[in-house]
Amino acid sequence: MPNPSAEKNILENFYENRATILYHETYHFDSTVVQPNTRDYANGPQSIWDQAKLKGAYWSYVTPDSYGCAALSIYIQEWFRSVFPPVPRKVYQAQSGFISSSSTTEADLYPPVNFSTVLPASFVAPSNPDIPNATPDASLWTEFRGTSPPEAPSSTATATQVSATSTCKIHVDEYELCGAESSDLFANVSMANGNGDTIGETAINYTYPLGMPINVGDTYSFQPRLGLAIMITGEHEGDYIQFTQGDLSWTSNTTTGVVSCTDGGWEPKDGPVCGREYGDTDAKKQIDCWVRC
Ligand SMILES: [Zn+2]
């Protein structure tokens, strides 16, 4: 007897479709991930799972089907509103004791994959898989955008400026939205060196148009271009922001010592105005801190 509610946890049941194939092939393009392009070191849910588990993040990073399987798994989870994303059949069966009655197996999808044990000689393995070592192909940018690519920021110029002991300024636009106190604080942060040059800023994106969440349990790790990350957490109790950078710790109320801050207060002064007919009004406050850097 088929069991659809259990079968939806099995990734192989959804794997063969045009969207996944198109997504996979897109990740093969030169310079999308690395140059030279990614290769099919593994294919299919189980092989991709095994590769990630046994060979690590770097191999997933250079294998297009990792992206295809991850995207499909997220999509299926959202579609069915499942508690967990779907996983390969053997993994799910081992975890749940469920025996799938679906006939599609890994062997049907693909013949057994021979993992390559060495990457092409032209790859240089990065020490950190989050930092690609690709040398972007400038002609691609020119082809897509019709202009030359922008200059990469000069790291040597910034290094010289920051190595001199000076005072850096951290500016925080903090927002309080209408919503649960556990998830309603956001911060758009920028940091400038003694010359006023920006040395770090929050990347605003579609998901977080007002800045990153800074809630208890969801601390924002703000990374300046040089130096240690600054951990930023908003506290409702006492209404302050907690900052931690390495051994150094201070709050938006700190006014003496190696760090001093000013807190401009909330606008509107009683916080966000919620539940009105024409929509909610967010509250904003501006904080500046001067730190040695
Ligand atoms: Zn491929």
pLDDT in tens, 167-219: 899 999 999 999 888 999 999 999 999 888 899 999 877 778 889 999 999 99
The number of C-alpha atoms within 13 Å of 184 and in the hemisphere containing its C-beta is 18
CA of 64 to the centre of ligand 1 (A): 6
Confidence class for position 153, pLDDT limits 50, 70, 90: very low
Is residue 258 within 8 A of residue 223, CB to CB? The reply is: no
Q: What is the mean predicted confidence (pLDDT) over 136-153?
A: 58
Confidence at residue 142, expressed as pLDDT on a 0 to 100 scale: 64
- Distance between CA atoms of residues 123 and 110, nearest Å: 26
Token pair, residue 275, equals 């539940």
CA of 86 to the centre of ligand 1 (A): 22
CB under 5 Å of ion ligand 1: residues: 40
Higher pLDDT, 232 or 115: 232
Round the average pLDDT of the chain to a whole number and report it. 81
CA of 150 to the centre of ligand 1 (A): 31
Backbone angles phi, psi at 220, to 5 degrees: -95, 125
Buried b (16+ CB within 10 A) or exposed e, 37-46: ebeebbbbbb
Confidence at residue 160, expressed as pLDDT on a 0 to 100 scale: 40
CA of 65 to the centre of ligand 1 (A): 7
CA of 40 to the centre of ligand 1 (A): 5
CA of 38 to the centre of ligand 1 (A): 8
CA of 4 to the centre of ligand 1 (A): 30
Q: Which of 23-32, 126-135, 196-205, 249-258 has the lowest mean pLDDT?
A: 126-135
Tell whether the model's pLDDT for residue 6 goes beyond 70: yes
- Distance between CA atoms of residues 62 and 36, nearest Å: 10
Confidence at residue 115, expressed as pLDDT on a 0 to 100 scale: 44
Angle between helices 18-26 and 64-80 (to 10 degrees): 140
Tell whether the model's pLDDT for residue 161 goes beyond 60: no
Higher pLDDT, 81 or 102: 81
Enumerate residues 6+ apart whose C-beta is below 8 A from 41. 51, 59, 62, 63, 115, 116
Choose from 121-135, 201-215, 250-264, 273-287 the range with maximum mean pLDDT: 250-264
pTM exceeding 0.75? no
